[in-house]
Homo-oligomer: A and B are copies of this chain.
Amino acid sequence: MKKEDSTEHLILDAAKEIFQSKGMDGARMQEIADKAGINKAMLHYYYRSKQLLFEAVFKNVFSLLAPQLNSILNDDSSVETKVTNFTADYTAFMMKHPYLPNFIINELNRNEDFILKLQEQTGFPNLEKFKVQVATEINSGTLKPIDPDQLFVNILALNIFPFLGKPLIKALTKKDDASYAAFITSRKTEVATFIINSIKM
């Protein structure tokens, strides 16, 4: 039997879908069991409690996101190249996982201490290299002076917010789903241009 067909894995897949779309409070154990096509008791057999199943899902989902962040932080290309690649890659990734950003952000707001458990995990994104790199490029006159933390948050904000705020932005800009998808697609390059215009000397 393949690993993907194991009951434990079926449960995790079903739980990922339900928890991501409805959140911890909105999710129902019975609904997860139904989606997995198994008896509700199996959820507790493999994961003990709703809380532990949720944490397994959260860590799994976060481990999808972390590499996306690390990609911009830990390679040796210039800041300009990183911004360009990150914007394109991150947007493409999020178009495949539309519930992911809101899930992460919302659950971290619901329980601020939960991030502590993630920080201990290997692969938790580290900004040190990025900070040094930005400082170096500012010194060498390639970039205008800017606090690396501020720049990093700006990059995240411009890339993530369109997924978090989709319903609001759709209404404000009067777009339907198709034109919103086109809007997001064009951001793959627009956002990088916007950032680079701002910081390039």
Contacts and interface: CB of A to CB of B under 8 A. Distances in A.
A156 interface: yes
Interface string A23-54: 10110000000000000000000000000000
A82 interface: no
A146 B190 CA distance: 9
Contacts of A104: 168
B149 A183 contact: yes
Contacts of A147: 186, 190
Given A167-B109, A171-B119, A161 B162 contact: no
Given A105-B102, A190-B150, A110 B198 contact: no
Nearest to A164: B105
Contacts of A124: 171
A167 B108 contact: yes
A101 B72 CA distance: 27
Given A149-B173, A194-B146, A167 B106 contact: no
Contacts of A174: 127
A152 B23 CA distance: 29
A146 B199 CA distance: 17
Q: What 9 A-B pairs are tightest by C-beta distance, nearest first?
A: A157-B161, A198-B198, A25-B25, A108-B167, A25-B26, A197-B198, A115-B171, A157-B157, A149-B173
Given A23-B110, A109-B167, 15 more contacts: A22-B110, A23-B106, A25-B26, A69-B172, A102-B105, A115-B168, A116-B171, A146-B194, A149-B173, A153-B162, A154-B158, A158-B158, A161-B164, A197-B197, A197-B199
Interface of A: 22-23, 25-26, 69, 102, 104-106, 108-110, 112, 115-116, 118-119, 124-125, 127, 144, 146-147, 149-150, 152-154, 156-158, 160-162, 164-175, 183, 186-187, 190-191, 194-195, 197-199
